[in-house]
Structure 1
Amino acid sequence: MSDEEEDYMSDAFLSKIQDVKPGVSMVRRVKEAMKKEALHKEKNITNRQKTFKEQEKEGRETALQSSISNDNKGFALLQKMGYKAGQGLGKQGAGRVDPIPLNIKTDRGGIGMEGVKKRKAEEELEQYRRKVRAKQQNETKSLEDFRTRVRTEREERKIEADLRNSQRSCEQLDSQKGITVPREDWYWPKANTDDDEEDEEDEEDDDPKEEKEEEEEEEIIELSSFDKLQILTSYLRGVHFYCIWCGTTYNDEDDLCSNCPGDTAADHE
């Protein structure tokens, strides 16, 4: 065997590959290295020099946890006046036992600034509450107005429908009794005829002054749908013994009063 060739079973050859290990051992070595590095970082943090604020805070907490020693001049004066450790202040010993707690100021505001900030925060909170209450009141009022408007429109549509039914019934009942002309124009349904159109054209040719006076008179005596309904239903009940809500023509007034619930739509609900 030549010198260049090495015996793969020799110690020299094995020493060259002693660091080469299976994959599992490699993972274990990596984990150990990471663990050592974490311990090293933790040790550095522990040994880090503390800042002045941290040292001041630790010293203050240590001092507050420890009681005043007999070497303190103020404590010595209290003892001469009869004070004993753990006893309350005052002649009867009913005063404060523990020291007044410290309120460390952390910001750079002047004396009294905290009170100003507190009052300002309270005012802003009160303003916010007032806005919320006003908003809630407006929403409630808007909802009530909407409901009132819807209810009013529904009632107006009902009145218009009852008035039309009354006009048709009035025309039919009057015709059965031989009445050819209604007591009032609006007692019967308005019919759109050619004669009406001619009358309207003739009225347009009239003097504007007379037209204006007639319009003013009509405006004065104009009745609402509700008023017309009340007048017309009274006419139907008094002349024809008829109730539009019952849909019945009664024999006489006694029969009407005995069997009809009333003279309004609400009485028939």
Structure 2
Amino acid sequence: MSSDEDDYMSDKFLASLSSNVGLPKRKQDQRQHEMFKKKIKSVLPKKAETEAAAREAGLKNAISEDNKGFKMLQKMGYKPGSGLGIRNTGIIEPINVIVKTNNSGVGAKSSIRIKKEKNRQIKEEEAKKLEAEFRKAIQEKSRLKSLFTFFRKAQTACEHLDTNEDLMEPIVDFYWPIKIKEKEDDEEQVKDEADSTDEEEEENVITEENLLKLTEYLRSRHFYCIYCASKADDLEDLDSFCPGNSVEGHNTDY
């Protein structure tokens, strides 16, 4: 071997070899290489598209009569175009193939759907509960307003009718409106006493039971109905046009 020739295992020989293979080292060559790769990728179909096309083609083609599974079905009485089973009542079309294309676990989609459905049901139940509570509050407010209005009307009517018969004070305290005696020396004290008395009256006096007692008294003694706003000559006359001692059946705006 000539001493001028390089050994093929020498570093010089390997360096010259490596410079001729592999990726291009110049930036211009690298850009051209990347552009070539992108061009190839744009021309070639994607893997998912290729698999989808092959799967679709396979599903469109019926199983040949040479297929072992098809032969087994024929031995069990299957005829092409009919349903599966002894009475041919089973499915005719094959089960649809659903391909999983993401990295989530098996059943993740169904569990998410169930969770969303559960959250939706909870929100609907909460909305219905809030609506029911709101309606109940509105009805209670309307009931209290009606009770307060009829109670005041009954007290005023009772005081007027009793005083016409020369009664100086009510038979029962709450039959007449409560009056606060004014004190000239301390107006603030009078106001505070009036406010506290009104609150106590609303809590303890203005009740449906007391309203029923008051209206019964007006009907039996004075033959008067606050719901009809009419006075009769006697009970028989009152019963002839009054539906009864309750707001039901009366034409009232309250």
TM-score, normalised relative to structure 1: 0.52
Alignment partners' CA distance in 2, 1:246 and 1:133: 49
Map of 1:180 onto structure 2: 168
Which residue of 1 is the match for residue 217 of structure 2? 235
- CA gap of 1:224–1:87, structure 2 versus 1, over 3 A, is same
The residue that corresponds to 2:244 in the other structure is: 262
Q: Whose helix fraction is larger, Structure 1's or Structure 2's?
A: 1
Q: 1:194 aligns with which of 182, 199, 214?
A: 182
1:89 aligns with 2:67: yes
1:190-221 C-alpha deviation (Å, 9 max, x unpaired): 112137x99xx9xxxxxxxxxxxxxxxx99xx
What's the offset of the Cα at 1:246? 0.9
2:65 aligned partner, one-letter code: Q
Q: Whose Rg is larger?
A: 1
Q: CA RMSD in A?
A: 4.4
Specify the code of the residue in structure 2 equivalent to 1:253. L
| Aligned mate of 1:246, from 225, 228, 236 | 228
Structure 2 alignment gaps of length 5 or more: 1-34, 75-79, 81-96, 190-199
For 1:152, the aligned partner's letter is E
Of 101, 111, 118 in structure 1, the residue corresponding to residue 106 of structure 2 is: 118
The 8 Å contact of residues 148 and 206 in structure 2, kept in 1 or not, is answered as: no
Match 2:157 to one of 156, 169, 182: 169
Counterpart CA distance in 2 for 1:58 and 1:254 is: 94
Alignment of 1:137 with 2:115, yes or no, is no
Structure 1 unaligned blocks of 5 or more = 1-43, 67-84, 202-217
* Distance in 2 between residues matched to 1:90 and 1:152, nearest whole Å: 76
Q: Percent identity?
A: 24
Partners of 2:122 and 2:218 lie apart in 1 by 52
C-alpha distance in 2, partners of 1:128/1:244?
Answer: 56
The separation in 2 between residues aligned to 1:260 and 1:237, in whole angstroms, is 10
C-alpha contact 2:147 2:208 (8 A) present in aligned 1: yes
SS at match of 1:118: coil
Query: 1:38 is matched with which residue?
Result: none
Q: TM-score under structure 2 normalisation?
A: 0.55
Maintained 8 Å contact 1:88/1:94:
no
